[in-house]
Each structure stands twice: as C-alpha cells, then as structure tokens.
Amino acid sequence: MTAKIIKTCIVYWCFLICLGSPLMASSLADKYEDQNKRIEINPDLQAYVEAREAENRLVIEKGKLHILGVDSLGAFRKSGKYSAPRDYNTDWFGFYELENKLFGFVQNADSRLICDGRDYPLRLELVALAKRDDIDSYTFKASASYNKGPFFKRGIETFELNLKTKSCFYEKRGRVAKCEIISPNDSYNFSGMTGGNVQQRFEAGLRKMPKYLERLRGCKFRE
C-alpha cells in the first residue's frame, strides 16, 4: 500500500516538473516580450547613435593606429615582433591618423542623453585631436598620467609629435620631456598590459554597437 502511494507521488511529481518548466519558460518569455514592447528606442536617438558609430567605424577602419607612450624609463619593450608597455606604470594611449588629421577615442558617457533612473551608457566618443601643420607636426593636449590605454584621456599637457620622424615631446608643469611613438606597422603587434591586440580592442568597440543600442531604451536627448 505504502509502495503504491509513493509510486503515485513520484508519478505526480514527475508530471508537475514536466508541466511546470515550460510554463515558467513561457511566462518569462512573455515578460521579456512585454518589457521590451513597453520601451522603444527613440528613432532620432537611434539615428544619432548610428551616425556617431559610423564615424567611429570610418576612423578605426580607414585610419592608421599609433601608440603614444610616456615613461621616463622608456615607454615600450619589444619581444620579437611584439611590443607592449614597459610595465604597469607606463602611461600610453592609441590614436588614429587619417588624411593628415589625428583622432582619439575617449570612453565616455554621452552627456546629451538622459536615461530614466539609469546612468548614461558608456560609448566610444571620437575626439578631433590635431591637424598636421606646415612642418609635419601635430600638437594637441592630453593627459600624460593615469592612462593605461588604449583610449585617449583629455588633459592639459601639450604634446608635439612628428609621425614621420617619430619625434615626440610633451610639456608638463613647465618641463619638457620625451615621449615615444610606435608606428602603424608595429601597432598590430602591440598588446596592452591587460592583453589583446590594441587595434582589435578598438574594433571590438564597434561590435558592441547593437548591445549599446539596446541599452538606450527609455533614453532621450537632454533638452
């Protein structure tokens, strides 16, 4: 008798589990659909973000990546055809050269967007750094400290560089020091301390675009 009851219980238990799982899955699926139905991405916002990402794509795809390093003990170390920052204290960032102009990328929250109850999503923001002058030099301001790449960091130190001769100087608190540049041919073999090829890290930023758009649900332009 007891065995019969236990057997019946097991059968019912199995039946409930088999019935319960699809029900739960379908309720979550419905919930997911509902929540995504409620908040739509603002079409103007989507167009704006896509235009910015298209510009990023142009620079990353068509531009030449350079790496600038700042370290009084030497910015880079080389092992075979691979380069890396000298050590964890070395400050460096990547920037792109495109048709005699330099562009950098800052990882930034977009101050033009407001998202209800949430932080502004981070995105890659393109920065116009400098135009080449008559003597093939570029001058721009950046931060020479606390930057472990690959992104550019805004700052007050003046950098002056020549990409042909690879000369690089920067002025910090009235003192001029040397910086180092790794040329485009080397950049593909340059990996940051956290690992990964630098060019690929920028390209990965482009691939995050669909996910970024997802996070813009419920966001709008700041008035």
Partner 1 sequence: MIKKFALTLLIGLLVSLQPLVSGAEPVLVDDGLVTPKVNSQLLFDRLWEEQQARASNGLEKSKNKKRAKRLLCERLSVSTTLKTYLKEIVGVKLKSNPKSISVESVQFQNVTSLYGVCSVIVYTPVGPCFFDANPGKPINIWSLEINNREQSDDCKNN
What are the residues binding partner 1 (CB under 8 A)? 53-55, 57-62, 98-99, 101, 103, 126-128, 131, 188, 199, 203, 206-207, 209-210
- Whichever of 121 and 184 has its CB closer to partner 1, that residue is 184
Reading phi first (left if > 0) and then psi (alpha if -120 to 50, else beta), residue 217 is in beta
Angle (CA) 30-31-34 rounded to 5° is 85
Shortest separation between residue 209's beta carbon and partner 1, angstroms: 7
**Is the sign of the CA dihedral 168, 155, 192, 66 positive or negative?**
negative
- Whichever of 13 and 82 has its CB closer to partner 1, that residue is 82
Residue 150, preceding peptide bond in cis (omega within 30° of 0) = yes
Shortest separation between residue 201's beta carbon and partner 1, angstroms: 12
Shortest separation between residue 15's beta carbon and partner 1, angstroms: 45
Single out the residue of 32, 53, 75 nearest to residue 168, CA to CA: 75
Backbone phi, psi, residue 161, to 5°: -140, 155
Shortest separation between residue 186's beta carbon and partner 1, angstroms: 12
- Whichever of 30 and 203 has its CB closer to partner 1, that residue is 203
Shortest separation between residue 210's beta carbon and partner 1, angstroms: 7
Residues 6+ apart with CB under 8 A from 38: none
- Whichever of 99 and 134 has its CB closer to partner 1, that residue is 99
H/E segment holding residue 55: helix 43-62
- Whichever of 114 and 127 has its CB closer to partner 1, that residue is 127
